[in-house]
Amino acid sequence: MKKAVAALFCVAAAALGATSAWAQMSPVGTWRSIDDKTGEAKSEIQITDNGGVLSGHITRLLRKGADPQALCTECRDGLKDKPMVGLQIITGAKKAEGKDVWEDGKILDPESGKSYTLRLTPVEEGKKLEVRGSIGPFGRTQTWVRVQ
């Protein structure tokens, strides 16, 4: 009986571990964006899954001296002069079939007010997220670090 309970416990622990590892390979969670030039943390972004479609918004500004009441002065249309904290910067990303990649969405750069085609790729067992914004063949990739 003890062997059966021990075996069942091992199977359950392995299943739980596999589930945790899979969950981490998703962009869903809180991420810290890093400035390409200075290497300093810029903001925290919360990415959520709404029926298989990802969206993300800024939850905190992290730069030294950043005004928590800062507005998106470079944004256009309905986002112009909206608060940076709470600003939705990721929309419409969906998981690519058979891959740990989310694409076909948009990402807003609130510093320039421009939107880019988005590709999200979890790396390093989901501890980091490669965030690629592009227009046609031109773009750049940032690496964000998971907060939780």
Query: Could you report the per-residue pLDDT of 31-78, keeping only the tens digit for each?
Result: 999 988 888 999 999 999 999 999 999 999 999 888 989 999 999 989
Give the CATH number of domain 27-146.
2.40.128.520
* Mean pLDDT of the residues in the chain: 86
Asked if 100 and 122 count as a contact pair (C-beta separation under 8 A), the reply is yes
- Would the pLDDT of 19 be above 50? no
Domain boundaries, the chain: 27-146
Q: Which of 30, 14, 49 is nearest to 127 (CA)?
A: 30
Query: Could you report the per-residue pLDDT of 75-91, keeping only the tens digit for each?
Result: 998 999 999 999 999 99
CA distances from 115 to 25, 28, 54, 105, 133 (A): 25, 21, 16, 10, 8
Give me the torsion for CA of 44, 24, 88, 71, rounded to 10°.
0
